[in-house]
Amino acid sequence: MADNVKMFGNRKAVVEVQFNWIFILIVGGLLLLFFGGFIVKQKQAADIKLSSQVITDLEAVLIGAGVSAGAAELIEIPDIPIAITCDKFGIKDVEKPISKANPIFGPNLIKGNFLVTWTKPWDIPFRVTNFLFVTTPQVRYVLVGAGDFAEDVFNELPPRTITYDEEPRLTMNKEMLADISAMENLKNYKVRFVFFGQQDLTMQAIPEKLASMPDEDITAVAINGDFNFGQVDFYVKSGDTFEKKGSSAYLGDTTLFGAIFAEDIETYECVMNKAFTKLNIVAGIYLDRVLNLFADYSSDPVCSTYYEDGAYFDAIKAYASAGFSANAAVGMKDLPSLMKVRNDNIARASCVSIY
């Protein structure tokens, strides 16, 4: 009997010990879940706070860079991927809208700890607005072709290196090649090809050493034209060749660079629509000026002739009000040179200049 009681007591003790361990494990697990969740939430809050601060700082940089045209700048930023579209930019879930007054062209994703900004005025020939171009040294730009036009475009782009903290640093990661077949993979996260004078890239083979890159990270534009006007075709890698995504047009060198920097045709035309909204406003202001000058100089047989028919501003306003399209660019392509000739003639006749 005593042995049975002793055995029962031992079993009870074992059960109690097991229960205690189970209780400790459950409580410990709950504590780990609580503190683990707390840490995760704290990290998420810290990430959001950091993202918000970076976005606020970046917004100030972009606004400042877009105000005045000038040389390319290299700006150090936190190494956090930044997404950019036509209408907004953001880090993770934190986003900021891009003003309709700020045409910004660039890849859809900025990586690395340096941002390249470059601002150029859009004059046709009167000043419309400034275009802001953004990229990163980690995006590789490969210009393919020969001739003066291709070389001039290459030279007009931001320099390959600029001095930063008293040291030369890679800025616009650009190169010019006659043949791309032997290209090395330099581990860039994006590669942009710019072809000159080629009508169709669908038969153009992707360099063998770049074939393993994701399709969306290798894009191309084919430029056919000059600095004043031309057609631009947009392509994206599809397996071992290029797939055409659409055709558009550019009007002046500034919009040509917009096509080179823009991620795709949708982004390019969306940003150009912003520019055309501004063009509509500016052309309307100049049209009012021309009509007032025509009224003021109606008795002057020389000067009045320069202000009649709206001095082409009515035509530009009509195109701009309809929004950007390749057809609009085609219709406008001769107007800038005609307007410049007229304004030069006005100056020679000692009449009041339009712009």
In a domain, 341, yes or no: yes
Residue 180: both structure tokens together: 């791309």
62 and 198: one domain? yes
Each residue of 240-269: pLDDT tens digit? 999 999 999 999 999 999 999 999 999 999
Please state, in angstroms and rounded to a whole number, the distance separating the CA atoms of residues 78 and 115: 10
Each residue of 29-84: pLDDT tens digit? 666 665 555 454 554 444 555 556 767 777 777 777 666 677 899 999 999 999 99
89 and 222: one domain? yes
209 and 78: one domain? yes
| Helix H or strand E segment including 294 | helix 265-296
DSSP 310-343: GGGHHHHHHHHHT---HHHHHHHTTHHHHHHHHH
Given 209, 236, 264, the domain boundary residue is 264
Half-sphere exposure of 22 (CA within 13 A, CB side): 6
Q: Which domain holds residue 93?
A: 47-264
Each residue of 315-337: pLDDT tens digit? 999 999 999 999 999 999 999 99
308 and 185: one domain? no
Please state, in angstroms and rounded to a whole number, the distance separating the CA atoms of residues 120 and 268: 16
Find out whether 171 and 72 touch, Cβ atoms under 8 Å.
Answer: yes
So what's the pLDDT on residue 273? 97
So what's the pLDDT on residue 5? 47
In a domain, 19, yes or no: no
So what's the pLDDT on residue 246? 97
Each residue of 1-43: pLDDT tens digit? 555 545 545 555 555 555 566 667 676 666 666 555 545 455 4
Give me the sign of the Cα torsion angle 318, 321, 322, 323. Answer: positive
pLDDT at 302 over 60: yes
Please state, in angstroms and rounded to a whole number, the distance separating the CA atoms of residues 70 and 15: 80
Find out whether 153 and 194 touch, Cβ atoms under 8 Å.
Answer: yes
Beta bridge partner(s), residue 224: 231
Question: How far, CA to CA in Å, does 230 sit from each of 106, 168, 178, 331?
Answer: 20, 35, 21, 12
Classify each residue of 16-32 as buried b or exposed e, where b means 16 or more C-beta atoms within 10 Å of its C-beta.
eeeeeeeeeeeeeeeee
103 and 251: one domain? yes
So what's the pLDDT on residue 40? 46
So what's the pLDDT on residue 134? 96
In a domain, 18, yes or no: no
C-alpha torsion angle, residues 49, 54, 57, 62 (rounded to 10): -140
Given 220, 237, 264, the domain boundary residue is 264
Given 264, 298, 329, the domain boundary residue is 264
76 and 195: one domain? yes
**What pTM, to 2 d.p., does this model score?**
0.84
79 and 126: one domain? yes
Sheet with 174-177: list strands edge to edge: 174-177, 139-144, 190-196, 218-225, 229-238, 241-251
Q: How many domains does the chain have?
A: 2
What is the average pLDDT across 205-231? 97
